[in-house]
């Protein structure tokens, strides 16, 4: 193609959106409605993001579906029927597909297209975005709707290429069902993905060997089929309920005493923990007001947890190995079904790799402490390079050619979790420094998309061409995010919230622990003419 023809092949957009998960879908919907010319680029073959890729057995959301869902359309939230308290991945994917169809979003989404780079042109004030197939797009704004958990982490195990069986990463699961019947299977990793999948794999496989580096807290989900009367009761005043849920610290409702552990006698405490266990779910960690703040309070929850574990797991040595050694809530709690019970099965073995890592992978299995475990298939449930991971897999360059990889070499930071300084007109949805994973992320997505749409509207009416975050405002925000985290248990262990699950990644808290104040603060900043941002006139 001649240079002239190439130039004419550049697509012109107001907004280029990276990703068509729940954030990308709502961006396409809202920005199009506001009259912006948009297009979303999606690496997957369909919409859904996380729920498109994570097809492993047992994959479910860990926030109740009546709350982990969009509220931007009253018609949508009235007509959609969730079948279970915690929807499975196939149902979540159907929901995303329904949204895409109902609002005719697919015509502005390009599938099977990965964005490889985005470069800001100082002279024109526009972004040049390139796809992996060499297509080029010129856009005034770029919005990264790349998701928190979309860059799978497959550690470089020695010898993996020599393995003669099949191996899988939970975050890149095949579209066809995988049948483990009659097989010896290894699961590596016991975060949510490993813990949700291994009870189902154990029920199917001949033998399951679980390789655990860090024991996690797994709280029962007590998932159930939703009853029509209960759903109808919620839908009668859905908007009011949504509003009420967003007043809770993590943007979803939960039961709490609202008081310190130490305001109760040990007997009362035990009853409260028992009731919280019987309800199940993520917010076991919110039953007292100080569990995430005070190590002594947290220790009471750990002790209760240990008693529960001992009562379920019949082999005391296995129970010991399954006992976490860090503060409850520091890593994301796993909301599971039959996880501990699975270790009572005769075909399940737990191998600790805490002190003796996987040495290598052979054609026939895995070697730990000099012993070879022969398997037919390996499931790597080894998590993700979270938050900044998917962003940094692209080559993003801002003012004066500044590479985002260089700017973030000491840790990712964005002013308000919305925009990195030095990168005008580049927004992140649920980006580093926003509540993201430490909130009901659907609510954080809607809040960010609404906020950005309003900001773009305001710029258009005020004749502004560029918005950029002030360097000092960004630094002050990063200090604030860190200072809040330092008052909690979240920095007391290694987790993907901190990036410390990835060797060499700077250890920085990625999520702002401060919903609902965060939403109020952003609204106030907009009211103060977007304090901390600078604008350039057209
Ligand atoms: P997680 O929660 O990051 O879990 C990954 C697991 O894999 C965890 O047990 C890790 O142990 C283990 N892991 C990671 N690298 C290795 C190596 N090199 N060797 C052995 N074991 C390893 O990811 P998930 O996909 O389960 O869940 C992510 C989120 O998705 C979850 O929190 C929910 O929000 C949904 P470690 O703990 O690092 O010692």
Count CB neighbours of 158 within 10 A. 12
Contact 375, 258 (CB under 8 A): no
For residue 171, which atom of ligand 1 is closest to its CA? 25
Integer Cα distance of 533 and 525 in angstroms: 9
Residue of 463, 437, 387, 445 whose CA lies nearest to 30: 445
Spacing, Cα 195 to ligand 1 middle (Å): 10
Whole-number pLDDT of residue 331 = 98
- Ligand 1 within 6 A of CB of 191: yes
Query: Into how many domains does the chain fold?
Result: 2
Residue 528 has a CB neighbour count (10 Å cut-off) of: 9
Pick out the chain residues at pLDDT < 70: 1-8
368 C-alpha vs ligand 1 centroid, how far in Å? 18
d(CA 77, ligand 1 centre) in Å: 33
Pair (401, 417) in one structural domain: yes
Q: Is ligand 1 within 6 A of the CB of residue 336? A: no
Nearest Cα residue to 449 out of 89, 15, 12, 63: 15
Same domain, 170 and 112: no
Q: Are residues 364 and 408 in the same domain?
A: no
152 lines ligand 1 (CB under 6 A): no
- For every residue of 220-270, DSSP letters joined together read E----BPPHHHHHHHHHTHHHHHHHHTTSTTSS------S-GGGS-HHHHH
Domain closes at, from 337, 361, 380: 380
* Pocket flag, ligand 1, residue 298 (CB < 6 Å): no
Q: List the one residue out of 60, 92, 84 whose CA is nearest residue 336.
A: 60
- Are both 215 and 276 inside the same structural domain? yes
pLDDT at 2: 52
CATH number at residue 411: 3.50.50.60
Same domain, 351 and 472: no
Question: Residue 170 C-alpha to ligand 1 middle, in angstroms?
Answer: 11
HEC secondary structure over 469-536:
ECHHHHHHHHHHHHHHHHCCHHHCCCCCCCCCCCCCCCCCCCECCCCCHHHHHHHHHHHCCCCCEEEE
Q: How far apart are CA 25 and CA 44, in angstroms?
A: 13
Q: How far is the CA of 29 from the centre of ligand 1 (A)?
A: 33
Contact (CB, 8 A) for 449 and 28: no
**302 alpha carbon – ligand 1 mean position (Å):** 20
| Residue 360 shares a structural domain with residue 251 | yes
Q: Whose CA is nearest to atom 32 of ligand 1?
A: 332
Instruction: Point out the domain boundary residue: 362, 380, 398.
Output: 380
Structural domain span for residue 98: 3-151+386-537
Which amino acid residue places its CA nearest to atom 26 of ligand 1?
191
Q: Are 31 and 164 contained in the same domain?
A: no
Cα 57 to Cα 86, 90, 183, 336: the distances in Å are 14, 10, 16, 12
Contact 512, 477 (CB under 8 A): no
Q: Is the CB of 126 under 6 A from ligand 1?
A: no
Asked whether residue 235 falls in the same domain as residue 256, the answer is: yes
Put simply, whether the predicted model's pTM sits higher than 0.95 gets the answer yes
Give me ligand 1 centre to Cα 291, in Å. 23
- The strands making up 358-361's β-sheet, listed across from edge to edge, are 358-361, 365-368, 371-374
Identify whether residues 373 and 450 lie together within a single domain: no
- CB–CB of 68/206 below 8 Å? no
Ligand 1 atom having least distance to the Cα of 196? 26
What distance in angstroms lies between residue 410's CA and the mean position of ligand 1's atoms?
A: 23
Give the whole-angstrom CA distance, residue 204 versus residue 354: 27
Last residue of a domain, one of 354, 380, 406: 380
Pocket test for ligand 1, best of 150, 285, 383 (most atoms within 8 A of CB): 383
List the 377-380 sheet strands across, edge first.
Answer: 166-169, 377-380, 184-188, 207-212, 348-352
Q: For ligand 1, what atom is nearest to the CA of residue 54?
A: 25
Same-domain status, 41 and 166 = no
Q: Per the omega criterion (within 30 degrees of 0), is the bond before 516 cis? A: yes
Nearest-CA residue for atom 4 of ligand 1:
191
Same domain, 136 and 258: no
Check if 382 has its Cβ closer than 6 Å to any atom of ligand 1.
yes
Residue 1's pLDDT is what? 52
Q: Do 193 and 250 belong to one domain? A: yes
Task: Give burial (CB, 10 Å; 0-12/13-18/19+) of 402.
Answer: middle
What is d(CA 355, CA 213) in angstroms, rounded to the nearest whole number? Answer: 8
């Amino acid at each position: 193609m001649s240079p002239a023809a190439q130039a004419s092949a550049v697509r012109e957009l107001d907004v280029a959106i990276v990703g068509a998960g729940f954030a990308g879908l709502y961006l396409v919907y809202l920005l199009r409605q506001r009259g912006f010319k948009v297009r979303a680029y999606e690496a997957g073959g369909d919409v859904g993001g996380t729920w498109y890729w994570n097809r492993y057995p047992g994959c479910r959301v860990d926030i109740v579906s009546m709350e982990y869902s969009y509220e931007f359309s009253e018609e949508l939230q009235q007509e959609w029927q969730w079948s279970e308290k915690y929807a499975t991945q196939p149902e979540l994917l159907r929901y995303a597909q329904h949204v895409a169809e109902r609002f005719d979003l697919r015509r502005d989404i390009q599938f099977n297209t990965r964005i490889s780079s985005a470069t800001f042109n100082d002279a024109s004030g526009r972004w040049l975005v390139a796809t992996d197939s060499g297509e080029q797009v010129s856009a005034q704004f770029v919005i990264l709707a790349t998701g928190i958990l979309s860059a799978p982490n497959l550690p470089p195990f020695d010898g993996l290429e020599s393995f003669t069986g099949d191996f899988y990463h939970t975050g890149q699961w095949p579209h066809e069902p995988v049948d483990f019947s009659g097989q010896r299977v290894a699961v590596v990793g016991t975060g949510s993905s490993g813990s949700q999948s291994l009870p189902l794999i154990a029920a199917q496989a001949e033998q399951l060997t679980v390789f655990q580096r860090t024991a996690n807290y797994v709280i029962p989900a007590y998932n159930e089929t939703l009853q029509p009367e209960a759903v109808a009761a919620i839908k009668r005043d859905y908007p009011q309920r949504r509003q009420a849920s967003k007043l809770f610290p993590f943007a979803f409702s939960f039961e709490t005493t609202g008081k310190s552990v130490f305001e109760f006698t040990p007997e009362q405490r035990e009853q409260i923990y028992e009731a919280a266990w019987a309800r199940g779910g993520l917010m076991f960690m919110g039953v007292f007001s100080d569990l995430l703040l005070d190590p002594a309070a947290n220790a009471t929850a750990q002790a209760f947890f240990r008693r529960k574990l001992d009562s379920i797991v019949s082999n005391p040595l296995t129970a010991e190995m399954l006992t976490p050694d860090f503060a409850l809530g520091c890593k994301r709690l796993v909301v599971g079904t039959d996880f501990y019970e699975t270790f009572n099965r005769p075909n399940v073995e737990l191998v600790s790799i805490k002190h003796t890592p996987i040495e290598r992978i052979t054609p026939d299995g895995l070697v730990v402490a000099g012993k070879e475990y022969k398997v037919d298939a390996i499931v790597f449930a080894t998590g993700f390079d979270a938050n900044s991971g998917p962003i940094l897999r692209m080559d993003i360059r801002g003012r004066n050619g500044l590479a985002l990889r260089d700017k973030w070499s000491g840790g990712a930071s964005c002013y308000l979790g919305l925009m990195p300084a030095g990168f005008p007109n580049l927004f992140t949805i649920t980006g580093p420094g926003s509540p993201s994973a430490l909130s009901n992320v659907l609510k954080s997505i809607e809040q960010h998309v609404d906020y950005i749409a309003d900001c773009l509207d305001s710029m258009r009416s005020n004749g502004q061409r560029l918005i950029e975050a002030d360097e000092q405002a960004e630094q002050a925000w990063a200090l604030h995010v860190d200072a809040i985290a330092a008052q909690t248990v979240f920095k007391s262990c290694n987790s993907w919230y901190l990036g410390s699950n990835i060797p060499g990644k700077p250890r920085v808290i990625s999520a702002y622990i401060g919903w609902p104040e965060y939403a109020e603060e952003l609204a106030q900043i907009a009211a103060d003419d977007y304090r901390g941002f600078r604008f350039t006139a057209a």
